[in-house]
Amino acid sequence: MHVLKKSDLIENMKCFSCFSSKEKTRSRRHASRRGISPNVPNSPSSNEPPLTDDQQTEGKMQNAASPKSNEAAIKASPDKSIAAQTFTFRELAAVTNNFRQESLIGEGGFGRVYKGKLAKTAQVVAVKQLDRNGLQGNREFLVEVLMLSLLHHPNLVNLVGYCADGDQRLLVYEYMSGGSLEDQLLDLPRGKAPLPWFTRMKIALDAAKGLEYLHDKANPPVIYRDLKSSNILLDQDFNAKLSDFGLAKLGPEGDKSHVSSRVMGTYGYCAPEYQRTGKLTTKSDVYSFGVVLLELITGRRAIDTRRRNKDQNLVSWAFPNFKNPQRFRELADPLLKGDYSEKGLNQAIAVAAMCLNVDASARPLISDVVTALTFLGDEIDDTIELVDSPIKLSPSQAFCYINKANKASASDRERAVAEAKEWGTSARTSAMSKSMR
């Protein structure tokens, strides 16, 4: 298990030299515009509510900084080194051909992303230049560098390095040639074939594995907090990786059930209880995953203002169909033109429906979602689908193991998951035997 402690993050934050008083003033003005009270450590007011975990951490970060220089050079301490490389702004300007338009490959609220090649290693990289007046600030920059320096998994994007020259903030990632899931699924160019069903399920499985690592391997767990189709990047073989960790938070420790946080993320993907109360848990990520899985099934955006009012919110539009398996086909992406197994569709919708449960405690653990999706997408050839198995199971029966596991004790849960794996192995064998006849 990967042990990731708040003390480690705060200790690493001390490796960052401070930002100027001008930068702090601008940060306070920005906080004021968002309706967030700027954090002033050690100056409590009887009229102010207690600081949230976000504000306390931000205060510790500010206190850890030393006001000696406005150059935000990042220096790693000997015992807690930051693995990522450091780049100067001049180096990254050369890499991206001076940030010219022809090198631009993406743009968002955080700033722009450019494609480039490192001179020393010839590695192709993506360089994200944070907009100094954008939504992603210094805190998010620090969190992303630290998180991706401490966490490594095949389904998390690899951070190559960063630049913090003066007021410039840049992040250098491995280049993902397939772009984002949003590009391939929701912004499909005219004339390009849609993603096949099998590929969609594989992308869902990869994203779930990335979340599983954050939730189960890190201790305390890491809550991603911003899972959406634009943050899932794809390589040329459609292997998926989670990116953009600026909003990630360490999960609850000890007997705490949640962490308190300012409500941040993307509208349409946030769990309802998090939006309502600011209480954040790993089940908040599970809800966001359910939205992404529903996007993969339907080919529709989480929020689409181009549609009529009652159809703009994907979850609200799909929810009535969850209770009626006879209407499941209405949820399938029309671009697939029926090229999918009906049982596979039913099972995927069953998983999405459980993830989108309004009651957070009734949602499955992400590890159980991985177990379910493994039998839909992992290492199964396009012509050999598990769902062609002669085993006759309704969607509710197929995933009763997950519901059972979610509500049971630890020993019962392990047994239930083992039964699900046994069911999947048996069905996979049957499907392969059938295809060889």
Residue pLDDT, tens place only, 110-150 = 788 999 999 889 999 999 998 776 555 677 788 888 888 88
- 152 in the same domain as 186: no
Percent of the chain residues topping a pLDDT of 90: 43
* pLDDT, the chain, mean: 74
pTM of the model: 0.71
> Which tens digits make up the pLDDT trace of 68-106?
322 233 333 333 455 678 999 999 999 999 999 999 998
Tens-digit pLDDT profile for residues 35-63: 333 332 333 333 444 444 544 444 433 33
Q: Are residues 225 and 190 in the same domain?
A: yes
- CA quadruple 151, 159, 226, 211: dihedral sign: negative
**93/126 same-domain check:** yes
Confidence band for 2, pLDDT divided at 50, 70 and 90: low
Q: How confident is the model at residue 230 (pLDDT cuts 50, 70, 90)?
A: very high
Whether 131 and 255 share a structural domain? no
Q: How many CA atoms lie within 13 A of 207 on its CB side?
A: 29
Tokens in use for 290? 């359910």
Are 161 and 294 in a shared domain?
A: no
Look at residue 373 in the predicted model and tell me its pLDDT.
92
The CATH code of the domain that includes 74 is: 3.30.200.20
Same domain, 239 and 166: no
Is the backbone of residue 324 left (phi > 0), alpha (psi -120 to 50) or beta?
Answer: beta
Predicted confidence (pLDDT) at residue 344 exceeds the cutoff of 60: yes
Comparing 323 with 109, which gets the higher pLDDT?
A: 323
Count of domains in the chain? 2
Integer Cα distance of 53 and 38 in angstroms: 14
Determine the pLDDT at residue 204: 96
Q: Which of 226, 285, 333, 368 is catalytic?
A: 226
Mean pLDDT calculated for residue range 152-164: 93
- Which of 115, 142, 174 is at the close of a domain? 174
- 120 carries a ligand binding annotation: no
**pLDDT band per the 50, 70, 90 thresholds, residue 246:** confident
Domain boundary among 151, 174, 197: 174
d(CA 203, CA 214): 17
Assess whether 206 carries a catalytic annotation: no
Measure the CA–CA gap between 290 and 433, rounded to whole angstroms: 32
Same-domain check for residues 204 and 344: yes
- Show which of 139, 158, 174 is a domain's final residue: 174
418 Cβ contact list (under 8 Å, min separation 6): none
**Within this chain, do residues 221 and 167 fall inside the same structural domain, yes or no?**
no
| In a shared domain, residues 108 and 211 | no
Question: What's the pLDDT score for residue 190?
Answer: 84
pLDDT at residue 218, as a whole number: 83
The partner residues of 349 in beta bridges, in order of sequence, read none
Which phi and psi (to 5°) does residue 104 adopt? -70, 130
**Structural domain range at position 78:** 2-42+49-174
- Residue 169 and residue 196 in one domain: no
Tell me, what CATH number does 245's domain have?
A: 1.10.510.10
pLDDT for 36 equals 35
pLDDT at 25 over 80: no
Assess whether 163 and 190 both reside in one domain: no
Q: Which residue has the higher pLDDT, 232 or 144?
A: 232
CB atoms within 10 A of CB 110: 22
Whether residue 215 is found in the same domain as residue 230: yes
